[in-house]
């Protein structure tokens, strides 16, 4: 049983930034910060299946790809890396790359990595605040400059680089060709409303990501029977004994907690292992748990609020 105000690990990157406000009050002295990793606070706690991060970019990141579970295990790793990005802020003209403009054979992909033409073959798209982008393992991708995003991913740091803008780091041609789905991406399924307070943004085998929008001065019950991460992106709330404001995260597993929402309401991201949204995770004060045990497709479509067992 655990309810923890997540600790923050600072990861410095040359493509990061020097001012993290309003997402963090950490004093960024020295090298720029590219990532904040949210971690459990207890030293000997079990390692969660998911990793929650904030990324800050002043330059484009490398064009890269991650392995799926099968390939990762074939090289002795516990799992692959599927991820998703929620755009928290984006400068005018900010963009990300997802997939390729056309399908390449393994031989053509290898040649494009060697001569650098892969940079012109990636499919770039503009992004804006509130966008959600799903990046399945095997998808060639990149994050451009001028973006702040929340990343939810399988807990893995295995990355194969295809292009790195002359940064003189190693490229991973053989592995990248082996794991890449070297073509355009499939259209994403749109967000789906679960209740008036909860919208499923991503539903995948590895994780579910919800946007939660809790009204001002409301009270909720959170019942999480599996690991659940909550990241505050607007407003304030108190979860158990933990005060949350923008950029704070809470980890909860095998426990129940109350949520008291502040005078300005609270919007946040909530993530937990997939494959399906759990209908009974968040319950408004005074509501009955009559929907507990329903499948996601049976979730109420009106203003009814349900308990969610994440």
Spell out a b/e string for 34-65, using b for 16 or more CB atoms within 10 Å of the CB, else e: bbbbbbbeeeeeeebbbbbbbbbbbbbbbbbb
With contact defined as beta carbons under 8 Å apart, do 285 and 221 qualify?
Answer: yes
In the chain, % helix, strand, coil (3-state, to 5) comes to: 10, 45, 45
DSSP structural state of residue 62:
P
Integer CA distances (angstroms), 18 to 56, 148, 167, in order: 9, 13, 20
How far apart CA 262 and CA 192 sit, in angstroms, is 26
From the list 40, 103, 155, 161, the catalytic residue is 161
Catalytic (active site) residue 161 = yes
Chain position carrying tokens 């606070």: 41
> Which residues are designated catalytic?
161
């Amino acid at each position: 049983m655990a309810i923890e105000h997540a600790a923050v690990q600072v990861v410095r990157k040359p493509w990061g930034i020097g001012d993290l406000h309003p997402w963090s009050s950490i004093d960024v002295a020295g090298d720029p910060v590219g990532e904040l990793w949210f971690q459990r606070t207890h030293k000997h706690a079990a390692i969660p299946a998911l990793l929650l991060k904030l990324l800050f970019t002043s330059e484009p990141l490398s064009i890269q790809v991650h392995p799926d579970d099968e390939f990762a295990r074939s090289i002795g790793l516990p799992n692959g890396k599927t991820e998703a990005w929620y755009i928290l802020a984006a400068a005018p003209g900010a963009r990300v790359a997802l997939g390729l403009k056309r399908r390449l054979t393994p031989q053509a992909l290898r040649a494009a990595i060697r001569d650098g033409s892969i940079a012109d073959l990636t499919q770039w798209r503009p992004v804006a605040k509130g966008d959600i982008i799903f990046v399945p393992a095997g998808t060639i991708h990149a994050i451009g400059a001028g973006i702040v995003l929340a990343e939810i991913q399988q807990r893995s740091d295995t990355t194969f680089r295809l292009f790195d803008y002359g940064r003189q780091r190693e490229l991973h041609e053989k592995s990248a060709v082996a794991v890449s789905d070297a073509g355009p991406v499939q259209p994403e399924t749109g967000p789906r409303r679960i209740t008036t307070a909860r919208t499923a943004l991503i539903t995948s085998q590895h994780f579910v990501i919800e946007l939660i929008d809790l009204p001002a001065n409301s009270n909720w019950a959170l019942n999480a029977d599996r690991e659940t991460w909550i990241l505050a992106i607007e407003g304030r709330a108190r979860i158990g004994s933990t005060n949350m404001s923008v950029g704070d995260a809470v980890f909860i597993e095998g426990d129940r907690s109350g949520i008291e929402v502040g005078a300005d309401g609270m919007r946040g991201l909530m993530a937990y292992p997939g494959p399906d949204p759990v209908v009974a995770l968040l319950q408004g004060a005074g509501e009955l748990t009559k929907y507990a045990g329903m499948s996601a497709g049976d979730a109420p479509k009106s203003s009814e609020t349900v308990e969610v067992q994440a």
